[in-house]
Structure formats: C-alpha cells, structure tokens
Amino acid sequence: MRTLGEPKRCEILRLVWVEELPATEIADHFPSVTRSAISQHLAVLRSVGLVNERREGTRRLYTANHAELARLRSFLDSFWTSSLDRLRDLAEADQRNQERA
C-alpha cells in the first residue's frame, strides 16, 4: 500500500497500463524528476510485483502486472463490500425498530 502512496508511482502505472514502455520514455513524462529517481520508482514497483520488466538488448521495457493489480483490487474491494454489508445491516435493523415503534 505504501508503494502506491507515492503519486509518481501511480502515474507510472497509468503509463504502462495499456502498453509496454521503455524506462527512458517513462522518465520523459517526468521532466522535473531525474532518470535515476524514475529508475528507483520502477525498481520499487517491480519488487512488489506491480510492474513486469522485460529486457531487450540494453533497454528495459515495463508493463503493468494486471494479475497482481487485480489481486490488490480484490483485497481493497473486500473492505468496501464489508462496509456496505454493515451499512445494509444497520439500515435494516433501524427499519425494523421503526416498524415496531
């Protein structure tokens, strides 16, 4: 979760969501950030499995790991679903109490 708390990492994920991009092209989207810093962000994303890296000669190409991001989404959705279930239960209990009164 801490990994995605960094806005630049989220933006990198958006960039590589639909297409594989080389690190240099990713870095070009962040003119105020050094290429070294972007490489570090990519290394963090790769270390937690959110991006895949493929080497092609001297280039490193990155793409989003959709399977891992889907797993993360399911995990986060479980919080939302349980909250909605609790809200439904409270609303139904309140409705029953009002019908009794």
101, 79: one domain: yes
Find tokens 């909250």 and name the residue.
83
Domain count, the chain: 2
pLDDT digit string, tens, across residues 12-42: 999 999 999 999 999 999 999 999 999 999 9
> The domain containing residue 54 runs over which residues?
1-64
pLDDT digit string, tens, across residues 36-60: 999 999 999 999 999 999 999 999 9
101, 89: one domain: yes
**How buried is residue 34: exposed, middle or buried, by Cβ count under 10 Å (0-12/13-18/19+)?**
exposed
The answer to whether 20 and 64 are in contact (CB under 8 A) is: no
- Model's pTM, two decimal places? 0.73
Q: Give the list of residues 6+ apart from residue 60 with CB closer than 8 angstroms, or none.
A: 22, 23, 42, 53, 54
